[in-house]
A and B are shown apart, each in its own frame.
Chain A
Amino acid sequence: QVQLQESGPGLVKPSETLSLTCTVSGGSVSSGSYYWSWIRQPPGKGLEWIGYIYYSGSTNYNPSLKSRVTISVDTSKNQFSLKLSSVTAADTAVYYCAREAVAKGYMDVWGKGTTVTVSS
């Protein structure tokens, strides 16, 4: 059973870079069958898709965040990561990593989420 676990700082200062990692267990990020995604949810609000990465390094980002987002993969550690630069209070959210099967489009496995607060 594949499990995903987010990790990273819970507090980030405005204008700095948010960095999170998702560790995959019970499966492999090198599987050619999946994209590895990031989604976020501001407090009391809905879900926003950030983007995904394929094991080869190919990425797809939400245009609304594209200028500030980098998603990378480390197959040796079975992890993938999110970097969001120049953060503001509007980036305060629960950040989820998730798995999306290739040629499917929906997320069938999610991490538990990690809360990131942007504040000085």
Chain B
Amino acid sequence: VIWMTQSPSLLSASTGDRVTISCRMSQGISSYLAWYQQKPGKAPELLIYAASTLQSGVPSRFSGSGSGTDFTLTISCLQSEDFATYYCQQYYSFPRTFGQGTKVEIK
């Protein structure tokens, strides 16, 4: 099983801030990583796959980078609708596993 460590667990930020979320793997996964956004009471939504490819319809202020064991999700200019919880997910091997989540809250 590939374990994932997301950091920070909680991130306090203001509208307009640039924020970065980290996801570290217990072993290398090449670029087989996705990022999801989840708002309270809603299902997760796919933001990024293949570590850096933006899903159709996702704003360009979201970006992903990394390969191997270290990955980053960046929101370049935080908007009010971006306050949510973000999860990384690896699909290099089974079982699919998710990070524990990073909640982005209003500062």
Where the two chains meet, the residues of A that have a C-beta atom closer than 8 Å to any C-beta of B are 46-49, 51, 60-64, 96, 98, 104-108, 110-113
Contacts and interface: CB of A to CB of B under 8 A. Distances in A.
A108 B50 CA distance: 13
B43 to A, nearest CB: 4
A103 to B, nearest CB: 10
Contact of A106 (B1, B43, B46, B95): B46
Given A47-B87, A106-B34, A113 B43 contact: yes
B91 A62 contact: no
Given A47-B98, A110-B43, A112-B43, A105 B91 contact: yes
B44 A47 contact: yes
B101 A106 contact: no
B62 interface: no
B89 interface: yes
A108 B46 contact: yes
Given A105-B32, A105-B91, A106-B34, A49 B98 contact: yes
Given A62-B95, A64-B95, A110-B44, A46 B87 contact: yes
A94 B102 CA distance: 19
Contacts, number: 54
Nearest to A50: B95
Interface string B47-81: 00100000100000000000000000000000000
Given A48-B98, A49-B98, A60-B94, A106 B49 contact: yes
A48 B100 CA distance: 10
Interface string B78-107: 000000000101011011111111000000
| A49, A63, A106, A108 pick with most chain B CB within 10 angstroms | A106
10 contacts: A47-B98, A48-B98, A51-B95, A62-B96, A96-B43, A105-B32, A105-B34, A105-B91, A106-B89, A106-B91
B43 A104 contact: no
B45 interface: yes
B10 to A, nearest CB: 13
Given A104-B49, A105-B32, A113-B43, A46 B91 contact: no
